[in-house]
């Protein structure tokens, strides 16, 4: 299947209601407004195709960029490729739910995410913290350095309240994910979450969000979900 055919199929799946919802979250034209579940039959036909993924991502169309992440081959992508994808990620649904998710399936995930976290750029930082959330929620605890993650929790505690808005959200999710999915640091994540307290995230044209990692972790404790791991990162 070539890029033009995929674009036509995606356009046919577009719905005005979804389009408005994506735009309200920061998406810009061009986009069709596809529900992600509706893309699965097309993805099933294509499976993995990095060349096609690159063509679709380069269109700048939000739905095509999302679909590119579904059919990409993360292990074939270099650090430069991920940086280029992040350069094109103009809002958080791309940085955190397309690029970070794709990176989470690559062998170089932690190395690249660390650089993004240190970048000082809002969406790169957000993507880096989000990548760790996807990693922790899927990979075995033994694949991580407890000392490194403990240091990252401390970094969140020290910087979250002054961080850029989208980065705040990803950092808050990181504390929650460590508390839920990384058993060796569950207690420390709970302690850090309590020390951080509520975090206000300012959202343009929307009501501000109050983020509470401690409440999120407690909910999962009550559901018996501590140690939870996803089978797959990508849909």
- pLDDT per position in the chain (235 positions), as tens? 999 999 999 999 999 999 999 999 999 999 999 999 999 999 999 999 999 999 999 999 999 999 999 999 999 999 999 999 999 999 999 999 999 999 999 999 999 999 999 999 999 999 999 999 999 999 999 999 999 999 999 999 999 999 999 999 999 999 999 999 999 999 999 999 999 999 999 998 889 999 999 999 999 999 999 999 998 888 6
Give the closest residue to 141 by CA, choosing from 177, 105, 192: 177
DSSP code of residue 199: E
pLDDT at 235: 62
What DSSP string runs through 22-51? HHHTT--SS-----GGGGHHHHHHH---HH
pLDDT at 181: 98
C-alpha span between 229 and 140 (Å, rounded): 8
Residue 201 pairs in a beta bridge with 209
């Amino acid at each position: 299947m070539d890029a033009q055919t995929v674009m036509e199929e995606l356009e046919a799946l577009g719905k005005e209601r979804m389009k408005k919802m994506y735009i309200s979250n920061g998406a810009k034209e061009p986009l069709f407004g596809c529900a992600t579940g509706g893309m699965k039959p097309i993805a099933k036909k294509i499976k993995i195709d990095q060349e096609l993924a690159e063509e679709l991502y380069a269109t700048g169309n939000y739905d095509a960029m999302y679909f590119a992440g579904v059919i990409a081959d993360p292990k074939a992508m270099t650090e430069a490729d991920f940086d280029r994808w992040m350069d094109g990620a103009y809002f958080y649904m791309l940085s955190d739910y397309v690029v970070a998710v794709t990176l989470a399936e690559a062998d170089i995930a932690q190395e690249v995410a660390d650089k993004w976290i240190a970048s000082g750029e809002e969406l790169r930082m957000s993507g880096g913290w989000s990548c760790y959330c996807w990693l922790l929620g899927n990979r075995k605890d033994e694949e991580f350095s407890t000392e490194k993650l403990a240091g990252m929790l401390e970094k969140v505690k020290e910087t979250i309240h002054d961080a850029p808005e989208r980065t705040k959200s990803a950092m808050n999710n990181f504390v929650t994910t460590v508390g839920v999915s990384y058993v060796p640091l569950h207690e420390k994540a709970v302690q850090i979450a309590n020390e951080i307290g509520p975090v206000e995230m300012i959202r343009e044209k929307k009501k501000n969000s109050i983020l509470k990692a401690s409440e999120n972790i407690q909910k999962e404790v009550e559901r018996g979900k501590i140690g939870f791991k996803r089978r797959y990162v990508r849909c």
